[in-house]
Amino acid sequence: MKRSFLLYFLILCISLVFIARLFHLQVIKGTQEDPLYNAAIKVEFDYPERGYVYDRNGKLLVANQLSYDVMVVPNEVQELDTLEFCNLLKIDKEDFTKRLQRAMNYASYLPSVFLKQLAKEDFAFLQEKLHKFHGFYIQKRVIRDYPIRSAANIVGYISEVDEKTARTDEYYQQGELIGKYGIEKQYEAVLRGKKGKKYYRRNRLNKITGPYENGTKDSLAVHGKDITLTIDSNLQQYGELLMKGKRGGIVAIEPSSGEILALITAPTYDPNKMVGRARANNSVLLFNDTIHRPMFDRGLKASYSPGSPFKLVNALIGLQEGIIDESTSFYCYNGYQYGSRKQEFMGCHCDIYGRPIRLHTAISKSCNSYFANTYKRIVEKNNNPEEGLTKWSEHVKSFGLGNYLGYDLPEGDKGLIPDGAYYSRRNKFRWNASTNISNAIGQGEIITTPIQLANVTAAIANRGYFYTPHIVKKIDGKPIQDSAYTLPKQTSIDRKYFDPVIEGMREVFTSGTASWVNIKGIDISGKTGTVENSIRVNGKKVQLEDHSILVAFAPKENPKIALAVFIENGGYGSTIAAPITSLMIEKYLKGEIAKNRQWIEDMMLKKDLYHIYNREILNPDTFEAGTK
Amino acid sequence: MNIYAASFTEENNAIFDFSTKYGKQILWIILSIPIIIFILFINGKFYERFSSIFYLVSLLSLLGLFVFGKEINGAKSWYRFGPVGLQPSEFAKAFTALAIAKLLSDRKYDLGLIKNQIKAFIIIFTPALLIAVHDPGSALVYLAFFFVLNREGLTLAYFVLGVTAIVLFLLTILLGVKTLVISVISLISIYVVYHIYKDSRFLRFSWIKVLALYIISTSFIFSVDYAYNDIIQPHQRDRFEVLLGLTDDTRNIGYNSNQSIQTISSGGGFGKGFLKGDRTQGKFVPEQHTDYIFSTVGEEWGFLGTTIVIILFILLLFRIINRAEQHNNKFGRIYGYGVASVLFFHFVINIGMVIGLLPTVGIPLPFFSYGGSSLWGFTLLLFIFVRLDAHKSYDW
């Protein structure tokens, strides 16, 4: 029967293929045992020392200490004296049952953590009696220790790997530790080394009878690699001290290399809080603190409008595009009229009424009108605002703004730099520079983070280029080679245009808005900023205390440090951000604060803004409108 | 008949104590006995006469799912009556087989005619489409009816076409649209040139066919690409990629097959023994009591066990076909083929998936996989045939 032949034939063929495949799988591959999942084999892990972390001068920031977990393999647990066991571990019977059930739910054949981080006192007692309790054993682990209580946001912390990864990942097992934040997370693969494995054979009674395959499959633990950070711990600790009682961030970069000298966020916490048995409780407190948000790294992620420091960028663009030069002057009438209606007026506090203002004065006295004029001319250069704005945004973005900088920490924010298309999408009407004139003075749609501003300052300090900021200087004693960090990136502004802007920045400290904190013997150049800050309460816009900002670099020639300092609700830029900046610079360049400036240091140390922060929470609607 | 009984084994995810799943399945086995008796009692002719009604009832029950169905595991293919669930798609298979048998058993029915082919396709594909909406894997089984049609006169050309389509589909995924279009066009061109060489007038007579060939194959390849990237869900895409070796993902998508393969492997030559498979006990393989039940066989009984199971299936299928051939009456023969084809399809796809040769498709292994509806569905399918077979002298 010809037709029936097809089905017979197919059945036979396919079955043969299956049998062949099964033969391959079961007889050929099956005899190669998989030690990890074979009940007749026991694996013992040996955890290596995790890499140490040092600051740029060799100070030890992160070290190791030992910790002991009680592990269980539920299938091997036999009748035991529960009471004695619970007494040894200092838990109650109900807890014991809960923990054992949790381990069984994970997998009855695999080890899981029964009790984390046994107290040192209990370890000895338990160890002695452990042989009585089948299925339980003690696993030695390596956890962290922080000799210097600083830089919690940089060093991060480690904690248990999550269950999904433990099940499916090839390296990590349940209960093992993995970097979750900061350097620990970013450089996990470098710091963790490689755990050692020892295989033993077991018989039916689960007694170890000897090594598996004579130890040929065993592997030794490999110590993790040490990391040297670019951070200067003295500067970091000093900055954290100055920021006590305030909220905000400080980023300090070395312009000639892009190395991050200090990365401070306030409020911060003692990194030792995230170690050991207390970590679970502490992390709940820290992570759930939605008011102060200590786990939110403001230096990296606080996004807001940059305010007056952004005028520097606009100045450079104006010079590059030939809109202005050193001698161009504009008039200021306590502000700038940007539209035809009466309310379309941008106020200005530079106090130079009716007299011509040139670039360096505009910078040192922070004149809004000058920059409004400049911005308008940049955008409307060819009578095509969309094109002009896009060109403007390209200049801005060449400073690294509007995108991730590409530094080696796991957190960040892109910020926002609008371009022509952005406004054309948003505005259904024909728009021009007047529609978004706030961009001229660093408000409006522009969004930046402190590290982006610090990077811009470094680019200005270098007169036209910057290195991608990075936090790791050496791995395993060898300097980093990655060209992403070692090659400079050029901005779109020619070198010659930086000089007049820098002159203006110097004047800020000699005769301008920050002159009261000028340091004798150091040429600081910078720009103060006051960022308007408002929120919506019950649908109404409520003005809050302004944020205080300063960007600066020093010395003027051969700059060694560029900083951005951001103080939440700090008022005028010169009130708090400026003195803190000058103190940081003095500390870094001179090592100590001059006697005649001690009063500034004292004032900053004592300054506490929490009365303002608490006011925000308690009755925001009684707030007065912020001053400008 | 004894062979039927011998093949009738139940097994679940053998857990260390008798869990409710095992107990439930035993309950279903016991309940299926009265069903079997009932089926065997009824006159064989009854099935033939009422096959259209059964078919319509099953279609209705499938339609009803859209309104009354409960969703389980993302597929709305269940009715729930309190603690018990019923899956109509499992029963629809038997009734469709009956319907097709009825349609084709008319002596004058010539499957060579297109209009008759269309009728047959409609009967087969209507339930398939209704099922495919929630559960494309189960709908795939209806392709098995091709064998039935083929036996009754449908040209092999359809089969060849189908296989070619599948091969092109896989190659498109593997090699990418451009490579494949170029290679296919080149192959066709070689074929054309060869024919011109043999017969210089070839192009004159057959140029329409050749043009059609180019157009159809190219558009098919493009449509595959479109369907693959835009219609097929990502998790289904990933299954293909794991199968073809494009991704080496043992963590997410490849996890099921990877675990299943490892479990089977670990059985070695003779298995670890009943209830002693540590990977089964360790719950390493997801869905082990339903779709991946074969891996438990592999782990507990080793190569010996798996081969025996395969041989048992072969014997069962051969026996069915053999007895079907001996029917004089077309109805019995066609239905028998339907039974064998459906069982065969389940067997191929399920075991193929478990041993890693086919992508993950959620289809149970007949009589082995846990599930009341599945068990009763297959029981129905099989024992109706036993009934028809027992008294084939009724045929004329």
The ipTM estimated for the assembled molecules is 0.74
If one counts every other C-beta atom within 10 angstroms of the C-beta of residue B32, the result is 19
A312 burial (CB, 10 Å; 0-12 / 13-18 / 19+) is buried
Question: What pLDDT does A359 receive?
Answer: 92
On whether both B146 and B263 belong to a single domain, the answer is yes
Across A20-24, A587-591, B259-263, the highest mean pLDDT is recorded for A587-591
Q: How far apart are CA B236 and CA A330, in angstroms?
A: 66
* Comparison of pLDDT for B313 and B328, the residue scoring more: B313
Q: Which of A11, A19, A34 sits opposite B307 (nearest CB)?
A: A19
Same CATH topology for A43-193+211-229 and A297-591: the answer is: no
B289 — pLDDT class (breaks 50, 70, 90): low
Domain shared by B228 and B265, yes or no: no
- The DSSP string of A515-581 is GGG--TT---EEEEEEEEEEEEETTEEEEEEEEEEEEEEE-SSS--EEEEEEETT--STTTTHHHHH
Best A3, A19, A26 residue to mutate vs chain B (most B CBs within 10 Å)? A26
% of chain B exceeding 70 in pLDDT: 53
pLDDT given at position B15: 42
- CA torsion angle A159 A165 A170 A174 (round to 10): 50
Q: Is residue B267 part of a domain?
A: yes
* Mean pLDDT lowest among A217-226, A245-254, A389-398: A217-226
pLDDT at residue B16 in the model: 35
> If you average pLDDT over residues A48-56, what whole number do you get?
93
Q: Name A250's Cβ contacts closer than 8 Å, sequence gap at least 6.
A: A239, A243, A262, A263, A264, A299, A450, A563, A564, A565, A566, A580, A584
Tell me the residue range of the domain where B180 lies.
165-232
- The set of residues, in sequence order, having a beta carbon less than 8 Å from that of B212 and lying 6+ positions away, is none
CA separation for the pair A69, A140 (Å, rounded):
6
Q: Which of B203, B232, B261 represents a domain boundary (last residue)?
A: B232
Cα separation values, B211 from B19, B196, B197, B379, Å:
63, 14, 18, 49
Q: What average pLDDT does this structure show over A338-355?
A: 84
Contact B320, B386 (CB under 8 A): no
In a domain, B243, yes or no: no
Q: What is the pLDDT of residue A413?
A: 92
| Chain A from 89 to 118: CB within 8 A of any B CB | 107-110
A432-448 pLDDT, tens digit per residue, is 888 889 999 998 889 99
CA–CA distance, A125 with B159 (Å, rounded to integer): 74
Q: Average of pLDDT values for A281-297?
A: 86
Residues B360 and B354: their CA atoms lie apart, in Å, by 8
Pick the CATH number of A43-193+211-229 from 3.90.1310.10, 3.40.50.300, 3.40.50.2300, 3.60.21.10: 3.90.1310.10
Does residue B159 lie in a domain region? no
Same domain, B272 and B205: no
Instruction: Report the alpha-carbon distance of residue A465 to residue A461 in Å, rounded.
Output: 9
CA torsion sign for A509, A512, A513, A516 is positive
- The angle subtended at Cα B303 by Cα B299 and Cα B307, nearest 5°, is 115
Q: Given this model, what pLDDT does residue B6 score?
A: 45
Least confident of A278-282, B342-346, B359-363: B359-363
**Is the pLDDT higher at A383 or at B359?**
A383
Cis peptide bond upstream of A555, omega within 30: yes
Q: With contacts defined as CB-CB under 8 Å, which chain A residues touch B337?
A: 7
Confidence of residue B365 (pLDDT cuts 50, 70, 90): confident
CA–CA dist A602, A584 (Å, integer): 13
What percent of chain A lies above the pLDDT cut of 90? Answer: 38
- Over residues B138-192, the pLDDT tens digits come to 777 887 777 777 776 666 666 677 777 777 776 766 666 666 777 777 777 777 7
- pLDDT tens column, A478-528: 998 888 899 999 999 999 999 999 999 999 998 887 888 888 888 999 998
Please indicate, yes or no, whether residues B103 and B179 belong to a single structural domain of this protein: no
- Indicate the residue of A11, A107, A108 with minimum beta-carbon distance to B344: A11
* A64 band by pLDDT with thresholds 50, 70 and 90: very high
d(CA A132, CA A139) in angstroms, rounded, equals: 17
Q: B70 and B180 share a domain?
A: no
Does B137 share its domain with B170?
no
Residues B198 and B322 in one domain: no
Is residue B17 domain-shared with residue B62, that is, in the same domain? yes
Rounded to whole angstroms, the Cα distance separating B89 from B275 reads 32
Burial of A83 (0-12, 13-18, 19+ CB in 10 A): exposed
Binary contact (B298, A26; C-beta < 8 A): yes
Task: Say yes or no to pLDDT of B274 above 60.
Answer: no
- A540-580 pLDDT, tens per residue? 777 777 888 899 999 999 999 999 999 988 876 678 888 99
Question: Is A297-591 in CATH node 3.40.710.10?
Answer: yes
Q: Pick the more confident residue, A198 or B250.
A: A198
Residues A355, A22: Cα–Cα separation, whole Å: 93
pLDDT of residue B14: 45
- Asked if residue B148 and residue B24 are part of one domain, the reply reads yes
**pLDDT digit string (tens) for A447-458?**
999 999 999 999
Interchain pair B325, A21: CB under 8 A: no
Nearest CA in chain B to A20: B307
Residue A564 CB burial class (10 angstroms; 0-12, 13-18, ≥19): buried
Q: What does the pLDDT average to over A601-624?
A: 71
Q: How confident is the model at residue B279 (pLDDT cuts 50, 70, 90)?
A: low
Residue B237 lies in a domain: no
* Tokens of residue A321, six digits: 């595009």
Query: Which residue in B251, B264, B283 is closest to A169 by CB distance?
Result: B251
Cα gap B72→B85, rounded to integer Å: 10
B352 contact residues in A (CB cutoff 8 A): 18
Of A7, A108, A109, the CB nearest to B321: A7
- Which chain A residue's Cα is nearest to B346? A11
Contact A15 B266 (CB under 8 A): no
Q: What are the extents of the domains in chain A?
A: 43-193+211-229, 297-591
Number of domains in chain B: 2
Contacts of A108 in chain B (CB under 8 A): 281-282
On whether both B338 and B224 belong to a single domain, the answer is no
Task: Indicate the residue of B261, B278, B357 with minimum beta-carbon distance to A109.
Answer: B278
Nearest chain B residue (CA) to A170:
B251
